[in-house]
């Protein structure tokens, strides 16, 4: 790895207040190369160029730390990343905060295979990869209302996403959704769903990433009451008939 190759990530992270050391950069470099390599065979992501992976995947994932309390994560907070795909935003966060207890949930098998391979290669401890759907996990007593934070990026529109995320969060915890410039409209459309599921919108936090023109938003929803028993509904229903 030549240090200059990582510059878009290093400089962007610095603007987020994060200093990335040599070992961290080596981990991100390995992650990038594995992702690009596997992608030629398995089509894991649409973004494959080096700068795209560094900024749109890694840096964008790390921007969650504008909202997530880094100290709590490092002290062992329980976090689930739902519909994680090739690991975003969960795995970059885990690389920066090794103490967090992370669950990655993904419905597509080939992505699960990639994630397990990568986690072994990076030697990460305290990460569990589950092949399954949010609607099923949200009804499983081992996972329902067990997480301090539930995260998601690019998985579903807000009303559907709320039904995926909120059942997994303990009362007192929070959900975080990474959204684009339609964030406010999506949240507005999800108002009733969020309340029904025991959530309350805390904040829409705009984030600017170095090297990216568009504004990104972190939507933070506090879990203020238990989710009613009947949610989440069975697989496919939250997206077909959003609350
Ligand atoms: N979060 C990643 C991937 C986004 S693509 C990123 O931002 O790059 C959306 C992913 O969510 C897909 O991999 C899809 O398989 C998964 N997914 C969609 N609905 C899901 C559900 N109900 N439960 C679990 N995974 C789901």
Q: What is the pLDDT of residues 209-238, one digit of tens each?
A: 998 999 999 999 999 999 999 999 999 999
Percentage of residues in the chain having pLDDT higher than 90: 93
pLDDT at 1: 65
Closest-CA residue, ligand 1 atom 9, reads 155
b or e along 178-215 (b: 16 or more beta carbons within 10 Å of the residue's beta carbon)? Answer: bbeeebeebbeebeebbebbbbebeeebebebebeeee
pLDDT, mean over the chain: 96
- Does residue 10 carry a pLDDT above 70? yes
Angle ∠(197,111,38) on CA atoms, nearest 5: 150
Q: Is any atom of ligand 1 closer than 6 Å to the C-beta of 56?
A: no
Ligand 1 centre and the CA of 1: distance in Å? 30
> Mutation test of ligand 1: which of 155, 237, 240 has the most ligand atoms closer than 8 Å to its C-beta?
155
Closest-CA residue, ligand 1 atom 13, reads 85
- Cα(161)–Cα(168) distance, integer angstroms: 12
Closest-CA residue, ligand 1 atom 24, reads 133
Closest-CA residue, ligand 1 atom 10, reads 83
CB 143 within 8 A of CB 127: no
Closest-CA residue, ligand 1 atom 11, reads 83
Ligand 1 centre and the CA of 176: distance in Å? 15
Q: What are the pLDDT digits (tens) for 50-94?
A: 999 999 999 999 999 999 999 999 999 999 999 999 999 999 999
Q: Is any atom of ligand 1 closer than 6 Å to the C-beta of 177?
A: no
- Does residue 23 carry a pLDDT above 80? yes
Q: Is any atom of ligand 1 closer than 6 Å to the C-beta of 155?
A: yes
Q: Is any atom of ligand 1 closer than 6 Å to the C-beta of 129?
A: no
Q: Is any atom of ligand 1 closer than 6 Å to the C-beta of 78?
A: no
pLDDT at 223: 98
Mean pLDDT over 12-23 rounds to 95
pLDDT band (50, 70, 90) for residue 48: confident
Third-level CATH fold of 69-240: Rossmann fold (3.40.50)
- Does residue 181 carry a pLDDT above 80? yes
CB 63 within 8 A of CB 207: yes
Q: Would strands 216-223 and 169-179 be described as parallel, antiparallel, or unpaired?
A: antiparallel
- Cα(82)–Cα(132) distance, integer angstroms: 10
Q: Residue 58: which residues within 8 A CB-CB, separation 6 or more? A: 9, 28, 31, 32, 92
pLDDT at 19: 96
| Burial class of residue 52 in the structure, from the number of CB atoms within 10 Å of its CB (0-12 exposed, 13-18 middle, 19+ buried) | middle
Predicted TM-score (pTM) of the model is 0.97
Closest-CA residue, ligand 1 atom 14, reads 83
pLDDT at 185: 97
- Cα(178)–Cα(172) distance, integer angstroms: 20
What DSSP assignment string belongs to 57-116?
IIIHHHGGGGTS-HHHHHTT-EEEEET-TTTTTHHHHHHH-TTSEEEEEES-HHHHHHHH
- Cα(55)–Cα(76) distance, integer angstroms: 27
- Does residue 4 carry a pLDDT above 70? no
């Amino acid at each position: 790895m030549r240090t200059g190759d990582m510059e878009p990530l290093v400089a962007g992270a610095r603007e987020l207040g994060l200093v990335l050391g040599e070992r961290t950069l080596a981990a991100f470099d390995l992650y990038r190369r594995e992702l690009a390599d596997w992608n030629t065979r398995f089509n894991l992501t649409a973004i494959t160029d080096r700068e795209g992976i560094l900024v749109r995947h890694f840096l964008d994932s790390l921007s969650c730390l504008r909202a997530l309390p880094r100290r709590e994560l490092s002290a062992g907070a329980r976090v689930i990343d739902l519909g994680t795909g090739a690991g975003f935003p969960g795995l970059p966060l885990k690389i920066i905060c090794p103490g967090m207890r992370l669950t990655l949930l993904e419905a597509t098998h080939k992505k699960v295979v990639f994630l397990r391979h990568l986690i072994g290669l990076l030697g990460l401890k305290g990460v569990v990869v589950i092949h399954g759907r949010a609607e099923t996990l949200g009804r499983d007593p081992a996972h329902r209302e067990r997480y301090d934070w539930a995260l998601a990026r690019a998985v579903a529109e807000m009303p559907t996403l709320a039904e995926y995320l909120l059942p997994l969060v303990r009362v007192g915890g929070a959900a975080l959704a990474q959204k684009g410039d339609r964030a406010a409209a999506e949240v507005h459309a999800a108002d009733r769903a969020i309340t029904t599921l025991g959530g309350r919108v805390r904040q829409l936090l705009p984030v600017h990433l170095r090297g990216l023109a568009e504004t990104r938003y972190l939507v933070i929803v506090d879990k203020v009451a238990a989710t009613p028993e009947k949610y989440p509904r069975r697989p496919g229903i939250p997206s077909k008939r959003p609350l």
